Amino acid sequence: GQQVMQIPQYQHVQEGEDFTTYCNSSTTLSNIQWYKQRPGGHPVFLIQLVKSGEVKKQKRLTFQFGEAKKNSSLHITATQTTDVGTYFCAGAGGGNKLTFGTGTQLKVEL
């Protein structure tokens, strides 16, 4: 079945450093979604990308969908302590559901 992997699994950064998580699918995706889960919380939708090569920004967050629609990335510029949490990508391949990635846990130290 479809597999969606994310790297890295964990990332510790100093506040102010940049952070990137990568999402790779075993199949071509029709769309990719990103979610954020704060510690002790539940996943919350951030954004959806649909077009090949699409780039979207939300303040310090930049989301990109690969040209082949099999990978995506989330980049955070100048991390803050409020960015702490686990980031999940989720994509729809050939089936009738979203498949979530393995997640990247971000810790930000002062």
Partner 1 sequence: DVKVTQSSRYLVKRTGEKVFLECVQDMDHENMFWYRQDPGLGLRLIYFSYDVKMKEKGDIPEGYSVSREKKERFSLILESASTNQTSMYLCASSPRDPRTDTQYFGPGTRLTVL
The interface region with partner 1, picked from 12-20, 61-69, 75-83, 88-96 by CB under 8 A, is: 88-96
Give yes or no for residue 44 binding partner 1 (CB under 8 A): yes
Residue 39 sits in the site that holds partner 1 (CB under 8 A): no
What 8-state DSSP symbol labels residue 16? T
Judged by CB under 8 A, the stretch of 2-10, 12-20, 55-63, 74-82 that binds partner 1 is: 2-10
Which residue from 63, 71, 61, 76 is spatially nearest to 91, judged by alpha carbons? 71
* Site size with partner 1, rule: CB under 8 A: 26
Contact 104, 91 (CB under 8 A): no
Listed ranges 13-21, 54-62, 74-82, 89-97: which one lies at the site for partner 1 (CB under 8 A): 89-97
Smallest distance from the beta carbon of 14 to partner 1, in angstroms?
A: 24
Type of residue at 6: Q
- Compute CA 81 distance to the chain's CA centroid, rounded to the nearest angstrom: 18
Residues in Cβ contact with 88 at an 8 Å cutoff, skipping those fewer than 6 apart: 6, 34, 35, 36, 37, 43, 100, 101, 103
Give the footprint of partner 1 on this chain (CB under 8 A). 1, 4, 6, 9, 30-31, 33, 35, 41-45, 48, 88, 90, 92, 95-103
